Amino acid sequence: MEAENSALPRVLGGISPIDPLFVERMQRQGVLDAVNTVAVHGFPLDWNHWQIHEWPEKLAEIRGVTSLPLWVSEVGVSTFGAEEVQEFGLRRTAELLIGRAPRIHWYSLYDLPRAWPATTRHREAEGSSYYRHCYMGLLREDGSPKLAAKHFAAYTPSLGVCQWFHFEDHRLDDAVRHLRDLGVRYLRTGLSWSDSLRPNAEAWFDRQMRALEPFDVTLTFCFTPDSEGIRPDHSSPPRDFALYADFCARMVRRYAG
């Protein structure tokens, strides 16, 4: 990526759990020499084994082991139990994180449709934890707002959004409209290496990236094709990292060259 655009910031994918020992290990192995920013994920009201008020301590732990800028590339609260939990979680998250990280991406705008799988997750193994993935949106899958949605604009543009789009996602244009109405400036999303092997992939990628031009986009290159992984699943390391690197380079040239 640096060879294609040396000015483009390179962000270490959000780590979860938030583990300073892991960051130190990556630093010793030279991983942090290849990035400009470290990012973390946190979901203390759903999956993490710590409480929401510990956010400042969690950020301080990472700042204690690296001088790189620190982003929160995913943070959110599900409505799995009650919409009021997300309403509280949004307010408290904003109070704890705004001013402590230059980029904060709320996950997510939309609920994951129940008919779609949560990619890289395992329904049978995770039980009820899996289904929380389907309730993370400010909007339900039909686009209707939840209780927290009416408060979100009070925290933009300091809060951004992380929203993944599926291949030829029918929600794209409505998502852009909602994001603009909410005052969102920063958006994290992805382009899938696996999807790049589909017919008409470039046309879809072009449409997605044109639609997202109003935002400052943090782009994740994700999802290994079944045919290219050590294991036949999207979370597998590739058998040949050169093929993945080639995909990343092509996307940078096309959209950030």
Q: What is the tens place of the pLDDT at every residue in 230-242?
A: 998 888 989 999 9
pLDDT at 119: 56
**Range of 42's domain?**
11-256
Residue 252 lies in a domain: yes
Separation between Cα atoms, residue 71 and residue 103, nearest integer Å: 5
| Cis geometry, peptide bond prior to residue 78 (ω within 30 degrees of 0) | no
What pLDDT, in 10s, does the model give residues 172-209?
999 999 999 999 999 999 999 999 999 999 999 999 99
Q: How many domains does the chain fold into? A: 1
pLDDT at 22: 97
Say which amino acid occupies 70.
Answer: L
CATH number at residue 173: 3.20.20
Residue 18 burial (CB count, 10 A)? 22
Residue 194 lies in a domain: yes
Residue 4 lies in a domain: no
What tokens does 252 get? 């940078």
Comparing CA positions, the residue from 73, 84, 12 lying closest to residue 45 is 84
Separation between Cα atoms, residue 88 and residue 39, nearest integer Å: 24
pLDDT at 239: 94
What tokens does 113 get? 């449709």
Residue 3 lies in a domain: no
Residue 2 lies in a domain: no
Helices in the chain by DSSP H: which ranges? Answer: 20-28, 55-63, 83-97, 123-126, 128-131, 149-152, 172-182, 201-211, 241-256
Residue 81 lies in a domain: yes
Residue 209 lies in a domain: yes
The stretches in the chain having pLDDT less than 70 are 1, 116-127
pTM beyond 0.85: the answer is: yes
Residue 183, phi-psi category: left (phi > 0), alpha (psi -120 to 50), beta (remainder): left
pLDDT at 25: 97
Residue 1 lies in a domain: no
| Cis geometry, peptide bond prior to residue 199 (ω within 30 degrees of 0) | no
**Within the chain, what is the greatest distance between any pair of CA atoms?**
47
Separation of CA 119 from chain center: 13
pLDDT at 117: 62
